[in-house]
């Protein structure tokens, strides 16, 4: 037998005797209530910082945090807009014309532009005037794109549809 087990047996015997003695005594009903009130007066509960705010104040704080998070996400989200310049035609080559996606000055200043063939979704070409309907929205259009050295599209020429 371990000393720890012997110690537990002694404690259990003492607690059993205490329980049997206290079972016979009955305290008046109001004693516990008065003791709790006295304890509360002597040791008032400490209010945490978040208890100082009311429910409407918490709602306002949550709304402001949500709006701030959305504004930060929108500001940091990568997005590029394709814009069409006021003079969209660059040159006419064999009856097909390039449509400028950037300014003429930017296109002329690009030293290492290259021509790339691509399959472009018809819906992406809708801002350029390509007709889109529910029947052909999933179609692709074969296009030749003039691309800058950094990969930015400068101009596009539609060659044929699939």
Q: Residues 25-43: what's their mean pLDDT?
A: 86
Please write the tens of the pLDDT for every residue from 47-99: 888 888 889 999 999 999 999 999 999 888 876 654 444 444 444 455 567 78
DSSP 95-137: TEEEEESS-HHHHHH-TT-EEEEEEEEGGGGGGGT----TTTT
Q: Which of 3-7, 44-48, 119-123 is least confident? A: 3-7
pTM to 2 decimal places: 0.37
| Residue 149 contacts residue 112 (beta carbons within 8 Å) | yes
Please write the tens of the pLDDT for every residue from 102-161: 888 888 888 888 888 888 888 887 887 778 888 888 888 888 888 888 888 888 888 754
CA distances from 150 to 22, 106, 111, 114, 139 (A): 87, 13, 11, 11, 28
pLDDT of 4 reads 66
| Residue 156 contacts residue 128 (beta carbons within 8 Å) | yes
Q: What is the mean pLDDT of the chain?
A: 80
What token pair was written down for 138? 């999933």
């Amino acid at each position: 037998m371990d000393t720890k087990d012997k110690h537990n047996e002694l404690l259990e015997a003492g607690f059993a005797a205490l329980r049997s003695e206290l079972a016979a005594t009955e305290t008046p009903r109001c004693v516990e209530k008065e003791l709790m009130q006295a304890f509360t007066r002597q040791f008032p509960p400490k209010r945490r910082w978040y208890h100082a705010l009311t429910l409407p104040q918490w709602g306002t704080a949550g709304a402001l945090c949500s709006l701030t998070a959305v504004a930060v996400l929108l500001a940091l989200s990568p997005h590029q807009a394709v814009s069409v310049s006021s003079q969209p035609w660059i040159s006419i080559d064999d009856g097909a014309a390039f449509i400028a996606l950037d300014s003429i000055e930017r296109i002329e200043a690009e030293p290492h532009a290259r021509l790339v063939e691509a399959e472009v979704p018809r819906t992406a070409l809708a801002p350029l005037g390509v007709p889109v309907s529910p029947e052909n929205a999933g179609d692709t259009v074969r296009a030749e794109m003039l691309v800058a050295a950094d990969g930015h599209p400068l101009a596009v020429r539609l060659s044929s549809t699939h």
